[in-house]
Amino acid sequence: MNLRLLALPVLVALGLGLPAALLHAAEPVAGRWLTAEKDAVIVIAPCGAALCGTVEKFLVPPPQGNDQRDVNNPDPARRKRRLLGTTPILSAFREEADLWRGQIYDPKSGKTYRSVIRRKGPGTLEVKGCLGPFCQTQVWKRAG
């Protein structure tokens, strides 16, 4: 029996399954993103086995300027750390089907929320923060 003829159905089945698997994968979210309020650029990049995001640049200066500290953090030991480049705004994001799940930190309130991120097009990121069943969604645009 011809081995090529036996292998053909297997290769076809694998080829047909591959696009379906790709459709269920989350689109990459790494990169530079302009927040919905247009007050900062957040850089999302790998941090260990997950993705994290930090403030790369303030577009609207906070009260202490670029030296703004994490003054609203509930942990007194973290209140002296700089927001710019060091404080994780997004943390522990892991790919799950067609989205990314992790946590988002709001330095204005000092609160951390469950979060879901998904790509909504080539230059658009949907960022959702949730507390219990209540969620708020923002749209971030790719920063140039």
Going from the N-terminus, what domains does the chain have, and what CATH number goes with each? Answer: 26-142 (2.40.128.520)
Candidates 35, 34, 107; CA nearest to 64 is 107
pLDDT digits (tens, 9 = 90+) for 70-121: 999 999 999 999 999 999 999 999 999 999 999 999 999 999 999 999 999 8
* Alpha-helix runs per DSSP H in 3-119: 3-24
pTM given for the model: 0.80
Q: Could you give the C-alpha distances from 82 to 31, 68, 69, 73, in angstroms and in order?
A: 21, 6, 4, 11
Position 135 pLDDT exceeds 50: yes
